[in-house]
Amino acid sequence: MNTITAAITAVGGYVPDFVLSNKVLETMVDTNDEWITTRTGIKERRILKDADKGTSYLAIKAAQDLIAKANIDPLEIDMIIMATATPDMMVASTGVYVATEIGATNAFAYDLQAACSSFLYGMSTAAAYVQSGRYKKVLLIGADKMSSIVDYTDRATCIIFGDGAGAVLFEPNYEGLGLQDEYLRSDGVGRDFLKIPAGGSLIPPSEETVKNRQHNIMQDGKTVFKYAVTNMADASELILHRNNLTNQDVDWLVPHQANRRIIDATAGRLELDDSKVLVNIERYGNTTSGTLPLVLADFEDKLKKGDNVIFAAFGGGFTWGSIYLKWAYDKK
């Protein structure tokens, strides 16, 4: 029996229509376009303005885009992994609702939360299910409505985040393509530096937590930046060394879109030319779980069968890692 590897066979993406530009942010908080662009590389981000729509809406749209482009029957999907840090609600899984809404009624689904590394961790999980031989079609969705947890009076965070979603389909491959290796790590020291303090079991919601804006994302930017630069670069470099890859062997770097300086530092450590680094942060900002699949959706035309692709991410918690994947198809 041939060895099964797990390959990405289709991608989809979705971002809302409303554009929140740096110029608009200048009217909301004490900041300016030059300051934001210089420090983050972000020019604009997309925002889901509808008050009655949550992360599930973004996820459904991204999944439907994939299904339509790949021309697959939703009933053939075996399982759905919903990578998100902003589920619609507590307890009731967002992934389960998404599965029903897209017609994947034969699939079981659940949510996976590892902050900005959620999709990267989800790639590992989806691949493991496929490689086990038990499941043939695993849909991995990364989606976040970050505007729902951002304090738009806090200039340290409101300039960074946007809303968006992306999806990929993992299927068995017998040509040796797909996920080759992974290096995933976490460190609980990060709990103090990037978090939403209230709303969980430690500090349940109350009038006081709402008044104190404790349900909004908070971060110690300098500390997070330092950890992110070091760990994303270290993980990516280790993956290359472990697989005897040089910078010439790498076709594409797909980095988490949190900050352009972090992306550049990771690419610099790997000595990769800018032309090999896929970046769309200037248009979307940090969509958390949505960044990696949105990059794939935006640059699908560039990816060719057999390409060596390195993924890297860093998120709150802290969580981080890198994945080496061989691309499995040419876009038709």
Tens digit of each residue's pLDDT (9 = 90 or more) over 19-56: 999 999 999 999 999 999 999 999 999 999 999 999 99
pLDDT bin (cut points 50, 70, 90) of residue 248 is: very high
Computed over every residue of the chain, the mean pLDDT equals 96
Q: How far apart are CA 253 and CA 312, in angstroms?
A: 8
Residue 71 is a catalytic residue: no
Query: Which pLDDT value is given to residue 221?
Result: 86
Q: Which helix (H) or strand (E) holds 95?
A: helix 94-101
Q: How far apart are CA 57 and CA 63, in angstroms?
A: 10
CA atoms within 13 A on the CB side of 39: 15
Residue 216 is a catalytic residue: no
* Residues in the chain, total: 332
The letter for the amino acid at 92 is A
Query: Is this model's pTM higher than 0.95 or not?
Result: yes
Q: Exactly one of 22, 158, 216, 256 is catalytic; which is it?
A: 256
**Statement: residue 1 has pLDDT above 60:** no
Can you read off the two tokens belonging to residue 125?
């999980």
Q: Exactly one of 173, 231, 259, 286 is catalytic; which is it?
A: 286
CA atoms within 13 A on the CB side of 121: 21
Q: How far apart are CA 149 and CA 155, in angstroms?
A: 14
Query: Which pLDDT value is given to residue 153?
Result: 93
Residue 116 is a catalytic residue: yes
Name which of 285, 298, 11, 267 is nearest 158 in CA terms. 285
Query: Which pLDDT value is given to residue 265?
Result: 94
Q: What is the pLDDT of residues 45-92, one digit of tens each?
A: 999 999 999 999 999 999 999 999 999 999 999 999 999 999 999 999
Q: Exactly one of 22, 116, 173, 216 is catalytic; which is it?
A: 116
* Contact indicator for 20, 178 with CB cutoff of 8 Å: no
Q: What is the pLDDT of residues 129-167, one digit of tens each?
A: 999 999 999 999 999 999 999 999 998 899 999 999 999
Query: Which pLDDT value is given to residue 213?
Result: 93
pLDDT bin (cut points 50, 70, 90) of residue 332 is: confident
* Contact indicator for 284, 15 with CB cutoff of 8 Å: yes
CB burial string 214-243: b at 16+ within 10 A, e below = bbbbbbeeeebbebbbbbbbbbbbebbeee
* Contact indicator for 266, 232 with CB cutoff of 8 Å: yes
* Contact indicator for 199, 215 with CB cutoff of 8 Å: yes
Average of pLDDT values for 171-176? Answer: 97
Q: How far apart are CA 83 and CA 80, in angstroms?
A: 10
Question: Domains in the chain, please, with CATH?
Answer: 5-178 (3.40.47.10), 179-327 (3.40.47.10)
